[in-house]
Structure 1
Amino acid sequence: MFGKIVSHKVRANKIHLEFEKNEGIIEIISPMIVNVFCPLKYDNHYSRAVEDLKIEQCEILVEKKDFYIEISTEALLIKVYDDFKVDFYSIEGKILCEDFREERAPFVRRGTISDAQDEGHSVDIQADKHKIEVVKRLFGDEKFYGLGEKTGHLNKRGYYYEMWNTDDPTPHVESHKSLYKSIPYFITLREDCAFGIFFDNTFKTYFDMGKENSKYYYFGADDGNLDYYFIGGNNVQSILKGYTDLTGKTPLPQMWTLGYQQSRWSYSPAGRVKEIAKSFREKDIPCDTIHLDIDYMESFKVFTWDKERFPDEKKILNELNEDGFKIVTIIDPGVKKEKNYDIYETGLKNGYFATDKDGITYVNRVWPGDSVFPDFSKKDTRDWWAENQKILLDSGVSGVWNDMNEPASFNGPLPDDVQFENEGRNTDHTEIHNIYGHLMSKATFEGIKKHSGKRPFVITRAAYAGTQKYSTVWTGDNQSFWDHLRMSIPMLLNLGMSGISFCGTDVGGFSFDCTPELLSRWVQVGAFTPLFRNHSGSNTRDQEPWAFDEETLNINRKYIKLRYKLLPYLYDLLWSGETTGLPVMRPLVLHYEKDKEVYEINDQFLFGENILVAPILEQGKKIRTVYLPVGQWIDYWTKEVIDGGKYILKETPLDICPVYIKKGSIVPNYPEQNYVGEKDIKELTLDIYPGEGQYVHYVDDKESYNYREGEYTLYEFIMKNDEEATIDINIKHEEYKAYDSFKVIYNCDITKEVYFNEEKISFVETDNKIEFVIPAVSGRLIVK
């Protein structure tokens, strides 16, 4: 494809390489990030993920060697050879990532394919070559993380996946090559180094992580440009920051979106919605959000209301809002083909819909029957779709849930030759498919932001790299199976490692019938999942917290209330993540990458850095092994202090999910409330686990963008534990009225005296801890 290097030229931060048969470009984005590019289809990137590329000025040295071109930054050494083979080294000369020089050699498959298929078996065939293909050498110590929501284990070594957004309602198992999202990015961890690769190609792409041969891994595509970013870093955290510097960070959401959410296909008519709302308040279960699935619409027509089921939607939604409930409505991209239906007529008149190759509006079948599909690759269409969000907002809707946007249809995937405008670079469905949901979410986000002035709440099923800038995601139509609860942990962790922090699953499972024990264990995971939504499908049994028995109800109440207690901690994580790119749910390897024990842990996770969660993921299990990393950890329920760096056994009756707090942690808590905003919280509880540590707590108005203009308050807590425990409290920024006082829960067996700013403070001793109140001002707290 390339041949020998003929010449090279350096132009600013780009090194242009002329080969015998083609050209290539090495672009230095920063000392740690390098783009490898060949204009096989377009002259430029035209990225849908990298929308605000910032080039960091740095020193670049380029030197022609005998057999290669050597490029160096202050952090990386890049060697470019004939055939556009590119190897990456640390500046000290350590090989990080090397192109494979031999031909691909898939393992031999034996047997008769047709016989197996006749019996109904799904059979893999020999792997194909791809138009674009990058093959990298395996050194043998690699672990792979990321690639979005793919099924299987946390470490993707030995797996093969395809990036082609797919609506597949069959039970998701490890053999699924593709699901709803395409995030062509992964992190490679080796014994003494780590790096990331982002293959920015929206066509169907392929990732073989050492499955077909243990000598190499590869990524490829059917079409488009050769366009990938090598992301170096000192550790996995810095690599994730580098990737999200490119594709965007998850923005801070409104706080109510972090509360508990209840959904079903479908809560309809209005009386049923009110009944659900009333039950939450009567049964003392906090809840902020109720979702309306497709049955709220008139004949499934988007941006309409069924006037029989919801005769006065504004009045109904206003009443629910007064009781603390936000309403989120589903919207699909399929627009009903119907005369005198305004959305259809306006879109048709202005050419907002995708067409066939003859320029005729393309029609397929979805919920409304014959439907047409907005061309979201066209800015005018996105602007129009954004304006339509005002219809929902004016009805009292608080958020929008985008579904069926792979795009899905009842007649299978849209044909490859469906045409899209693509910002003036006319193309077909093969290029737009994987970014269709991404662009729909962008339009939705921008419309809600414009017409509400608040941080938008958008949920999407389909996504591409960078969707985190516009939407939260869920993992699609799961099942009420224990295997799906188990598999949800690595799926969510890898979404987080792929830049998507605000994510979740359908708690309890969407299809099949949930059981009391399964819901009890799933809500224990959901309490620590950024998007905490119970959702179930049509014709399944009821799945609300009270749908089973008193024990299940009590367990749901316990963990939903725990979630509300931890809301300020969760909000802090999302606030800091807007800068660092770090997710809320984290695999242990993100903070303990030198610990070999954590590389394959699929059934535990960190909630931020300070809280470790080890849920029960198997039916009937009443005890489990928990791995605690190095350091000391405190059992959240018993307050037992445990030395880490080892495995322990923890008894787990049905109402106990093992939770451990890292020594030296300060965890902010809220008082009980039925919904976010019910109380004007003037006293923050500080749950303190003595040791060496630092914590920053953030406060703003919980909904607007005023924080970006400086309207927030920032508290810094620095804790030391020498001869006496000291906690320095510093108000680093104070432009928003926050708290009057701090209620301190200090988890310590023996306490003699407490002083704040040299004034002695009285305290109450209860169950291995003391409690006291101090003013929310800067100062020094001393515990003797």
Structure 2
Amino acid sequence: MFGKIISYEHHDNKVRINFEHRVGKIEVITPNIVNVFSSFKYQDHFSRAIEDLEIVKCNFTVDKKDKYIEVITDELIVKIYDEFKVDFYNKSLEILCEDYRGERDSFIRRGCGSIAEEEGHKVEKNTDNHKIQVIKKIYGDEKFYGLGDKTGHLNKRGYNYEMWNTDDPSPHVESYKSLYKSIPFFITLREKYTFGIFLDNNFKTYFDMGKENSNYYYFGSDDGNLDYYFITGIDMAEVVNGYTYLTGKTPLPQKWTLGYQQCRWSYTPESRIREVANNFRNKDIPCDVLHLDIDYMDAFKVFTWDKEKFPEPTKLLKDLKDNGFKVVTIIDPGVKKESGYDIYEEGLKNNYFAVDKDGITYVNKVWPGDSVFPDFSDSKVRAWWAENQKIMVDTGVSGIWNDMNEPASFNGPLPDDVQFRNEGRGGDHTEIHNVYGHLMSKATFEGLKKHTNKRPFVITRACYAGSQKYSTVWTGDNQSFWEHLRMSIPMLCNLGLSGISFAGVDVGGFSFDCTPELLSRWVQVGCFSPLFRNHSSMLTRDQEPWAFDEETLNINRKYIKLRYKLLPYLYDLLWQGETTGLPVMRPLVLHYSDDDKVHEINDEFLVGKNILVAPVVEQGKRSRAIYLPKGKWIDYWTKEELEGGRTILKEAPLDLCPIYIKVGSIIPNYPVQNYVGEKEIEELTIDIYPGNGHYTHYLDDGESFNYKSGKYNLYDFTMKEGNGVTLEIKTPHLEYEKGYSTFRILINSTEIKDVKFNGKDIAYETKKHVVEFSIKAEEGILVIK
């Protein structure tokens, strides 16, 4: 396809390589990130994921060798051969990743597939070669992570996937190649090396992670450009940071979005949502958010209210707000085709909708019946859609939930030849499909930002790489199956590794009927998921915390209250993630990749670095084996200290989720509230697990963008263990006027004889395995003997 190397040119950060038949480009983004590019459709990058990319000026050399061109940065050596074969080495000349020199050679599938298909079996077929494809050699020690929320296990070795946003409400199993999201990024972990590859191509793309042939893996596309980024780092965390350097970090959300959220299809009429709200308060269950599904609308017309079901929506939302509830409403992209409906009429007048190949507005069926689809690939349409968010904001809506934005449609999928403006370039559905939900989220984000001047809360079902800049996500229409509870953990962990830190699943399952035991175990996982939302479908049994029995209610209350207790820790992680790109919910392999025992752990996860959660995800089990990585860990419930690097057996009755805190951890806690903001937090609780450690706690107003201009506080805690424990407290940044008055210190140890703060004796009390006392929230040295 490319032929032999003829010559090369070096300009700024780019190396242009002229082959016999085509041109290839190597672009140095940072010393750790290199782009491989060749124009097949557009002359240069046309990325929907990467915006305002800053090229880091760095020294690198380009040399012509006998058989290849060599590009050397401070961290990478890139060798480019004939046929645009590209190999990557580290600075020690150790091979990291190389192109496979052979041809694709799939395993044999025997038998007659058509016979099996007659009975309804889904028959796998080997895929054809693609217009663009890159084949990489497998050395044998590779594990693959990322690729968004694909079903199956954490390690994707031996699986193949397609990136084509797909609405499929049937039960998701590990054989699914496509779901609602397309995030063409994966991390390769080898015995000594780690790197990531991001294929920035929003056409339908393909990833075979050694399934077709154990000698290679490949990624490819049927259209677009050859355009991928090779990202290296000393560990997986650095690779994630590099990927999010390209595609963006998850911005700090409003604090209330981390509270518990309750949803159902549907809470109508008005009396029903008031009943649900009252139950939360009367039954002493914290809750911040109630969601309204499609039935709140007038005939499913977006940006409208059904005045029979909700005669006074503004008053309803104010009443709920006065009781501490924010309301999030669903908005789908399908606009009802109806004369006199202002959204339809305005969009039609201004040519804001996608058209067929003859230029006629394209129509398909969704919830409203015949519907048309806004062309979010056009900036003018996005600005119009953003302006429409004011309709919801003025009613009192606090966030927007974008659904059905793959886009989904009932009369078959949108044809490939549906036309979009594509920022003036033109393009059809094959190019826009995978970024349709991404661009809708961007428009929604900008609208909420403009009309609230607060950090937008946008939830989306469909997305592309980089959507983390605009929205949180959930994994779509799961089922009330134990298998879906089990699968939710690797799905959320891989989403986090794919840049999307703020993510969740429908706690309890969306379809089918949940059981008391399943909800009890699922809420124990949901407690630690960034997006903590219980959601269920119409015609399924009620799934609210009180819908079953007293035991289930108590377990839900226990873990929802634990969530509110841990809110400052979760908020700190999201604040850190805006700089590091690291997620809240993490697979153990992210921080313990040198321990091969964690590479395939699907049923445990970390929350930050400090908390390990090992939930029970099988019906009837009341104990489980737990692997603790190297180091010392404290059982959160019993305060027992355990040596890591081994597997333990833990009793886990239905109301207990095994939780372990790493020795040396400092965990900030809040008092439990009915909702975020109910209480003015004047005392921060510092939960200390003695050892050597450091922690920075972050505080701001929890909703505005003032933190961008420095309106926040930082509290640094440095703990050293020797003859007792010394805690040094510093306040390096105090620009937010509402700081803390006191710190409530919890020391998870009873062997304490003396406590001094800045040389003065402090009275303390012992409760079970914890010593408690309060000090002023000021700089100083706390000495505990």
- TM-score, with structure 2 as normaliser: 1.00
2:180–2:463: 8 Å Cα contact kept in structure 1? yes
| SS of alignment partner, residue 423 of structure 2 | helix
Which residues of 2 match residues 9-24 of structure 1 at below 5 A? Answer: 9-24=9-24
Unaligned runs of 5+ in 1: none
Match of 1:605 in 2: 605
Match of 1:779 in 2: 780
| 2:467 paired with 1:472 | no
The aligned amino acid for 1:773 is S
Cα deviation code 1:540-575 (max 9, x no counterpart): 000000000000000000000000000000000000
Match of 2:315 in 1: 315
| 2:694 paired with 1:700 | no
Match of 1:741 in 2: 742
**Equivalents in 1 of 2:672, 2:597: separation in Å?**
38
**Equivalents in 1 of 2:44, 2:268: separation in Å?**
49
Match of 1:540 in 2: 540
Match of 2:118 in 1: 118
The aligned amino acid for 2:784 is V
The aligned amino acid for 2:162 is E
**Equivalents in 1 of 2:326, 2:11: separation in Å?**
53
**Equivalents in 2 of 1:577, 1:680: separation in Å?**
26
Match of 1:756 in 2: 757
Q: CA deviation at 1:723?
A: 1.4
Match of 1:257 in 2: 257
Match of 1:373 in 2: 373
Q: CA deviation at 1:255?
A: 0.4
Which residues of 2 match residues 17-56 of structure 1 at below 5 A? Answer: 17-56=17-56
| SS of alignment partner, residue 612 of structure 1 | strand
| 2:78 paired with 1:78 | yes
| 2:757 paired with 1:768 | no
1:288–1:675: 8 Å Cα contact kept in structure 2? yes
2:634–2:661: 8 Å Cα contact kept in structure 1? yes
1:52–1:246: 8 Å Cα contact kept in structure 2? no
Match of 1:713 in 2: 713
2:632–2:641: 8 Å Cα contact kept in structure 1? yes
**Equivalents in 1 of 2:115, 2:639: separation in Å?**
60
Which residues of 2 match residues 475-554 of structure 1 at below 5 A? Answer: 475-554=475-554
Which residues of 2 match residues 575-590 of structure 1 at below 5 A? Answer: 575-590=575-590
Cα deviation code 1:127-155 (max 9, x no counterpart): 21100000000000000000000001000
| SS of alignment partner, residue 423 of structure 1 | coil
**Equivalents in 2 of 1:300, 1:126: separation in Å?**
41
| CA-atom RMSD in angstroms | 0.5
**Equivalents in 2 of 1:13, 1:664: separation in Å?**
44
Which residues of 2 match residues 274-289 of structure 1 at below 5 A? Answer: 274-289=274-289
Unaligned runs of 5+ in 2: none
Q: CA deviation at 1:288?
A: 0.2
**Equivalents in 1 of 2:769, 2:261: separation in Å?**
35
The aligned amino acid for 1:369 is G
2:731–2:778: 8 Å Cα contact kept in structure 1? yes
| SS of alignment partner, residue 346 of structure 2 | helix
Q: CA deviation at 1:188?
A: 0.2
Which residues of 2 match residues 379-418 of structure 1 at below 5 A? Answer: 379-418=379-418
Cα deviation code 1:1-22 (max 9, x no counterpart): 1000011000111000000010
Bigger Cα displacement from structure 2, 434-443 vs 732-741: 732-741
| SS of alignment partner, residue 647 of structure 2 | strand
Q: CA deviation at 1:48?
A: 0.4
1:527–1:559: 8 Å Cα contact kept in structure 2? yes
2:145–2:154: 8 Å Cα contact kept in structure 1? yes
| SS of alignment partner, residue 537 of structure 1 | coil
The aligned amino acid for 2:252 is L
| SS of alignment partner, residue 686 of structure 2 | strand
**Equivalents in 2 of 1:10, 1:750: separation in Å?**
66
The aligned amino acid for 1:278 is N
**Equivalents in 1 of 2:411, 2:243: separation in Å?**
37
Q: CA deviation at 1:125?
A: 1.1
The aligned amino acid for 1:115 is I
| 2:107 paired with 1:107 | yes
Cα deviation code 1:679-724 (max 9, x no counterpart): 0010011111000000000000000000000000000000000112
| SS of alignment partner, residue 206 of structure 1 | strand
Q: CA deviation at 1:118?
A: 1.1
| SS of alignment partner, residue 48 of structure 1 | coil
Q: CA deviation at 1:411?
A: 1.4
Match of 2:198 in 1: 198
The aligned amino acid for 1:305 is W
**Equivalents in 1 of 2:52, 2:222: separation in Å?**
26
The aligned amino acid for 1:748 is S
Match of 1:594 in 2: 594
Match of 1:232 in 2: 232
| SS of alignment partner, residue 178 of structure 1 | coil
Q: CA deviation at 1:412?
A: 2.3
Q: CA deviation at 1:413?
A: 1.4
**Equivalents in 2 of 1:305, 1:518: separation in Å?**
35
| SS of alignment partner, residue 775 of structure 2 | strand
The aligned amino acid for 1:771 is E
The aligned amino acid for 2:155 is N
1:523–1:559: 8 Å Cα contact kept in structure 2? yes
| SS of alignment partner, residue 128 of structure 1 | coil
Match of 2:164 in 1: 164
Identity %: 70
The aligned amino acid for 1:717 is F
Match of 1:177 in 2: 177
Cα deviation code 1:212-253 (max 9, x no counterpart): 000000000010000000001111100000000000000000
Cα deviation code 1:639-664 (max 9, x no counterpart): 00000010000001000000000000
Q: CA deviation at 1:329?
A: 0.1
Match of 1:430 in 2: 430
| 2:58 paired with 1:58 | yes
**Equivalents in 1 of 2:658, 2:412: separation in Å?**
43
Cα deviation code 1:55-87 (max 9, x no counterpart): 111111011011100110011000000000000
Q: CA deviation at 1:749?
A: 2.4
Q: CA deviation at 1:38?
A: 0.2
Match of 2:725 in 1: 725
Match of 2:355 in 1: 355
| SS of alignment partner, residue 783 of structure 2 | strand
The aligned amino acid for 2:644 is G
**Equivalents in 2 of 1:89, 1:400: separation in Å?**
45
The aligned amino acid for 1:145 is Y
Q: CA deviation at 1:340?
A: 0.7
| SS of alignment partner, residue 400 of structure 2 | strand
**Equivalents in 1 of 2:723, 2:658: separation in Å?**
32
**Equivalents in 1 of 2:54, 2:158: separation in Å?**
35
Q: CA deviation at 1:768?
A: 1.6
The aligned amino acid for 1:562 is L
The count of corresponding residues between Structure 1 and Structure 2 is 784
2:199–2:227: 8 Å Cα contact kept in structure 1? yes
Which residues of 2 match residues 437-452 of structure 1 at below 5 A? Answer: 437-452=437-452
Cα deviation code 1:12-39 (max 9, x no counterpart): 1100000001000000001110000001
Match of 1:153 in 2: 153
After TM superposition, the runs of 4+ consecutive aligned structure 1 residues lying more than 4 A away are none
| SS of alignment partner, residue 571 of structure 2 | helix
- TM-score, with structure 1 as normaliser: 1.00
Match of 2:635 in 1: 635
The aligned amino acid for 2:537 is G
Cα deviation code 1:360-401 (max 9, x no counterpart): 000000000000000000000000000000000000000000
| 2:59 paired with 1:69 | no
**Equivalents in 1 of 2:222, 2:754: separation in Å?**
70
The aligned amino acid for 1:743 is R
Q: CA deviation at 1:730?
A: 0.4
2:135–2:219: 8 Å Cα contact kept in structure 1? yes
The aligned amino acid for 1:161 is Y
Q: CA deviation at 1:766?
A: 1.0
The aligned amino acid for 2:397 is V
2:750–2:766: 8 Å Cα contact kept in structure 1? no
